[in-house]
Chains A and B, each alone.
Chain A
Amino acid sequence: EIVLTQSPGTVSLSPGERATLSCRASQSVSSNYLAWYQQKPGQAPSLLIYGASSRATDIPDRFSGSGSGTDFTLTISRLEPEDFAVYYCQQYATSPCSFGQGTKLEIK
């Protein structure tokens, strides 16, 4: 099973700043089969990015995904107040799929 390690565990930023979240895989994720999800308190995760860089429906373009192989990044270009949440990556190149442990993005 591919193990995903997200860093940092928690990041504190201010609205308007740029956020860069990392997801590192224990082995190469073929065909960039990697997704990102956002989870707000008391809510389910929601899909942001699939295929490492494709935005899901209705996701603002301030969210972007990049990377390949074992290193992937989620970037939020200018943080809005509603972006402060926990973010998870998921690899789906091998089954069972696996999730990272999450990065909490909190307001500074």
Chain B
Amino acid sequence: QLQLQESGPGLVKPSETLALTCSVSGGSISGTYYYWGWIRQTPGKGLEWIGHMSYTGTTYYNPSLERRVTISIDTSKNHFSLRLRSLTAADTAVYYCARVHPIGVGATRYYFENWGQGTLVSVSS
């Protein structure tokens, strides 16, 4: 059974960069049509898609975050990562990694088939 597990710091200072990793077990990141992505959740804005990436390196990002986000994949370690730069308090959220089910050619239509348990990230000095 596929499992995803986020890891990373729970507290980050404003203006710094958040780095999270999602370790995947029970299945391989490589060689499938799935994408691998990140979503965050806040009490105020609710659920917000951040972006996703294929194992071949094709990426899609939310335009609202695109200037600050990088998603990468390490197939040798079967994990993928999120970097979010120039943090502010508004980036305080629970961050989830997910296996993304794309529809049709490309991955501009997608839903989230499997989720990690989530990790709370607070941005504060």
A residues lining the B interface (CB < 8 Å): 33, 35, 37, 43-47, 50, 56, 88, 90, 92-93, 95-97, 99-102
Q: Are B62 and A45 in contact (CB under 8 A)?
A: no
User: Which stretch, B13-21, B75-83, B102-110, touches the partner chain A?
Assistant: B102-110
Contact with A along B53-69 (1 / 0, CB 8 A): 00000001011100000
What is the size, in residues, of chain B's interface with A at 8 Å between Cβ atoms? 22
B97 CB to closest chain A CB (Å) equals 9
Interface of A is mostly: loop
Asked if B110 and A45 make an inter-chain contact with CB atoms under 8 angstroms apart, the answer reads: no
Complex contact A33–B49 (CB within 8 A): no
Q: Give B81-125 interface residues, CB cut-off 8 Å to A.
A: 96, 101, 103, 108-118
Neighbouring B residues of A100 by C-beta, 8 Å: 46
Enumerate chain B residues within 8 angstroms of A47, measured Cβ to Cβ. Answer: 111-114
Chain B residues with CB under 8 Å of chain A are 46-49, 60, 62-64, 96, 101, 103, 108-118
Task: Give A32 Cβ to nearest chain B Cβ, in Å.
Answer: 11
How many A-B Cβ pairs are below 8 Å?
A: 52
List 30 contacting pairs A-B, 8 Å CB cutoff, sorted by A: A33-B109, A35-B111, A37-B112, A43-B117, A43-B118, A44-B96, A44-B115, A44-B117, A44-B118, A45-B47, A46-B115, A47-B111, A47-B112, A47-B113, A50-B111, A56-B113, A88-B46, A90-B47, A92-B109, A92-B110, A96-B49, A96-B62, A96-B63, A96-B64, A97-B49, A97-B110, A97-B111, A99-B46, A99-B47, A101-B46
- Bound state CA distance, A84 and B62, in angstroms? 31
List the A side residues contacting B60 at CB < 8 Å: 95
Min distance, Cβ A39 to any Cβ of chain B, angstroms: 9
Give the residues in chain A near B96, CB-CB below 8 Å.
44-45
**In the complex, the 9 A-B pairs of residues with the closest C-beta atoms, listed nearest first:** A44-B115, A99-B47, A35-B111, A95-B108, A96-B62, A92-B109, A44-B118, A50-B111, A92-B111
